Amino acid sequence: MYVAGRSVNVRGGPSTNNPVVGRLGRGEAVLVVWVEGNGWARVRVEGDGIDGYISAGLLTDQAP
């Protein structure tokens, strides 16, 4: 999957109440590990070491 938002926060848990652990820009590729029932996707970014949650609505399957 790819980041569809301009600048997207990656959070430590599946909510905006959780701390930001990273930030990704539009078009960056992520591996979706699973999607929570509340619409948050657990993602990993190879090489960057980012591992956390992004709102699934900010992801797309279309390459930039």
pLDDT digits (tens, 9 = 90+) for 5-62: 999 999 999 999 999 999 999 999 999 999 999 999 999 998 878 999 999 999 999 9
Alpha-carbon distance values, 43 to 20, 27, 37 (Å): 13, 14, 15
Q: What's residue 58's pLDDT?
A: 96
Please provide the CATH number assigned to the domain covering 2-60: 2.30.30.40
Q: What's residue 18's pLDDT?
A: 97
pTM of the model: 0.90
- pLDDT of residue 63 exceeding 90: no
- pLDDT of residue 64 exceeding 90: no
Q: What's residue 60's pLDDT?
A: 96
Of 4, 1, 6, 7, the closest CA to residue 43 belongs to 1
